[in-house]
Copies of this chain bind each other. A is one copy, B any other.
Amino acid sequence: METISVSTDDKQGFYDITDRVQSAVNASGVIEGICLVFCPHTTAGVTLNENWDKSVQHDLAVGLNEISPPRSEYRHGEGNSPAHLKSSLMGAAQVVPIDAGDLVLGRWQGIYICEFDGPRTRKIHVRVLEG
């Protein structure tokens, strides 16, 4: 298992880790299989989305803020409940097929760590399985 470290620089943002996940796949030597990308944090997540126009990432952030704003009924003392909900909405784990040694992603599809309560240093675990 390989672990990627990402230093986020804002309260909320999306960071493209596709190349680093592909490097972990290369290091594993696996040609056919699957790749698990796992976020061990509860105010961050992992998602797949467009990697071409950066305004898509902007718009995802805007949309998630509308879906998960601060709410007066929230009780969690740290005040980051909107981030916890966004984390579960995006998900902690993504699984991508590997074919001929490459992640099988769409032409405009990248793998993103989603920061919802930064800036922080985040870890992402990458586990590659043959089969």
Q: Which residues of A contact B (CB under 8 A)?
A: 1, 32-34, 36, 38, 40-42, 47-50, 53, 55-56, 58-60, 62-64, 66-68, 71, 73-78, 81-82, 84-85, 87-97, 99, 104-106, 108-109, 125, 127-131
Contact = CB atoms under 8 A, between A and B. Distances in A.
Which label, helix, strand, loop or mixed, suits the secondary structure of the A interface? mixed
Contacts of A38: 95-97, 104
A88 B59 contact: no
A109 B88 CA distance: 11
* Chain multiplicity (copies): 3
Contacts of A90: 88-89
B34 A59 contact: no
Contacts of A78: 53
A111 to B, nearest CB: 10
A77 B91 CA distance: 27
A70 B97 CA distance: 32
Nearest to A64: B85
Nearest to A28: B131
